[in-house]
Amino acid sequence: MRWEYIVDAEEMQRADHNTIEHFKIPQLVLMERSALAARDLIRQRWRKIFEGEPKVLIACGNGNNGGDGAALARLLFLTGCDVTVLVSGEREKYSPAMRTQMEILERYREKGDKTLHILTDEKWISIWDGHRPEGRLNSAAWDLVIDALFGIGLSREITGIYRKKTEWLNGLSGKKAALDISSGISAKDGHILGCAFRADLTVTFGFQKRGMALYPGREICGEVIVADIGITEDSFLGEYPAGMTIGRDRWREGGILPRRNPNGHKGSFGKVLLYAGSAGTPGAALLAGEAVLRSGAGMLQIVSPAENRELILTRLPEAMYQALTEQTDWEKLFGLCDAVVIGPGIGQDIAAQKSTEKIMTFMSENKEIKPVILDADGLNLLASSERLFKLVKIYTAQGGIVIMTPHMAELARLLHCSMPDLQKERMEKLEGYCRETGAILVSKDAAAVVGFHDSMDRFRYYVNQTGNSGMATAGSGDVLSGITGALMAYTAVNHGGSREKTDRKTACFQAVCHAVYLHGLAGDMAAEKCGEVSMKAGDIIAALPETLNFL
């Protein structure tokens, strides 16, 4: 499994504390390892800059993030760089580690034969006139600008001189790197706290921070590299973080999806029942259906109005087709499937509502539990039907698996809240709705988040890091629902024989995360061929065979 922990500020601070207090690794040792890792990674990233004697500016706050910056300043200075350290605040207010690092730096400065400048607030203000920096503050004065003003603990807006410094740093022309997280980005949710340092590269320590995986933080932090400084999973002392992710490039290592049984048959790989499409508009059914088949399902049964029969059977001859009527034998259909997908393109009329409620009624009364994926119009019906909402809760209370895949507007409708409120408290609202419904929820966005409550009633989540803006196109969500249906069917059939000792809901959660990752990765491969501007949903499906070959 290729899971990686992703942490918020509290979880990272706890791991840092445990490393120091429980494992007895001194804070200054961790700080030195952070600076060494940052030095090496920055030099690797911008080799040409370091071929000469680069001019480097490092902006340090008065806390431990500033201590990381001061340690890095010393290391770069000793390798021949012309270093300017812009320090903040009064020395009396420095953290103990920052004070020690500045004392070390100043001792090397006294004996060095190269240039090391220390610029205090007073000196910076005396040169900076509020309009145009002069002398050493000229925008072209540095080849590399490094941000160590604030660490992950920042929770309030940047104001005053710190805001002026941050805005000034952004205006400099050199390459820009941040230590641990870009100053001004909330490690909790990625929001901008007043203003933020815009980095080309962020070297983060120990584990990736949640705020740099969610937008707008993901964009502002630039390329993110996680540096090993000695804070490991052991540092959580068994109380592991709630969040996880899969690195964007981990697919190159393979092994993300389970291997297929070479002796398997179509039943071994899962059978999917897809209720999709409305009369005369089978597009969503075709996209979701083809995605099911391209994602490894052994069999697909599509239920759609009779008007769609000819086109569905012509475009997808591999699928079985059943016309949707009031007499549709759902009991027989459920006996032929391992997972159910409800919603792509079904509309929101009375007939669609009755059919969806009938399906969920049967599922909640049936002793055989099977995963149900609600998407698109299935979610809109859920948002408007109290009966359907109760049926979902009954089903999950019985141990049934319900996966919901709303984009942000659909999620706002489900939560009956405004979009600004949802964006402000996305993670909290996601957690609350998962608890209320018992569902596995995919909050689709540029950075999709999958959440659920595990068997210990602990909220857990996954942040996806694949995908691109070209996927913001009609039908992309239908493709995801098809991929999810295929992976859910496979999980339902094969979970009992899995080597991993996970409960059923956790296994389904992991499969949903893999579906979201696969969907984004196929979108990335499609973008390489078509470009993000010209991509359409069908291009994502077309990229699935090549994508799956790697996973």
Render the burial of 269-296: b for 16+ CB within 10 Å, e for the rest. Answer: bbbbbbbbbbeebbbbbbbbbbbbbbbb
Q: How confident is the model at residue 51 (pLDDT cuts 50, 70, 90)?
A: very high
Task: Read off the pLDDT of residues 249-295 as tens digits, 9 standing for 90 and up.
Answer: 888 777 788 888 899 999 999 999 999 999 999 999 999 999 999 99
Mean pLDDT of 360-387: 92
DSSP annotation of 265 reads -
Say what percent of the chain tops pLDDT 70.
95
Find the largest Cα–Cα distance for the chain. 90
Q: Which long-range contacts (CB under 8 A, 24 or more apart) does 122-128 make?
A: 124/86, 124/165, 125/161, 128/164, 128/168
Task: Read off the pLDDT of residues 188-234 as tens digits, 9 standing for 90 and up.
Answer: 999 999 999 999 999 999 999 999 999 999 999 999 999 999 999 99
End-to-end Cα spacing for the chain: 11
Q: Are 486 and 548 in contact (CB under 8 A)?
A: no
Residue 47 burial class via C-beta count within 10 angstroms: exposed 0-12, middle 13-18, buried 19 and up = exposed
Task: Read off the pLDDT of residues 132-185 as tens digits, 9 standing for 90 and up.
Answer: 444 455 666 899 999 999 999 999 999 999 999 999 999 999 999 999 999 999
Q: How far apart are CA 463 and CA 426, in angstroms?
A: 12
Q: Are 358 and 326 in contact (CB under 8 A)?
A: no
Half-sphere exposure of 480 (CA within 13 A, CB side): 30
Q: Which of 69-78, 90-99, 258-267, 345-354 has the lowest mean pLDDT?
A: 258-267
Q: How confident is the model at residue 29 (pLDDT cuts 50, 70, 90)?
A: very high
Q: How confident is the model at residue 131 (pLDDT cuts 50, 70, 90)?
A: very low
Q: Which candidate, 61, 31, 93, 53, places its Cα nearest to that of 169?
A: 61
At 341 the pLDDT is 98
Q: How far apart are CA 218 and CA 410, in angstroms?
A: 23
Structure tokens at 160: 């005053």
Mean pLDDT of 319-324: 96
Does the structure show a pLDDT above 50 at 73?
yes
Q: How far apart are CA 209 and CA 205, in angstroms?
A: 9
pTM: 0.94
Q: How far apart are CA 444 and CA 401, in angstroms?
A: 19
Q: Which of 102-106, 138-142, 170-174, 480-484 has the lowest mean pLDDT?
A: 138-142
Does the structure show a pLDDT above 80 at 535?
yes
What does DSSP say about strands 320-323 and 339-342: parallel, antiparallel, or unpaired? Answer: unpaired
Give, in degrees to the nearest 5, the angle at Cα 387 between 381 and 392: 80
Q: How far apart are CA 182 and CA 198, in angstroms?
A: 7
Structure tokens at 126: 């005396």
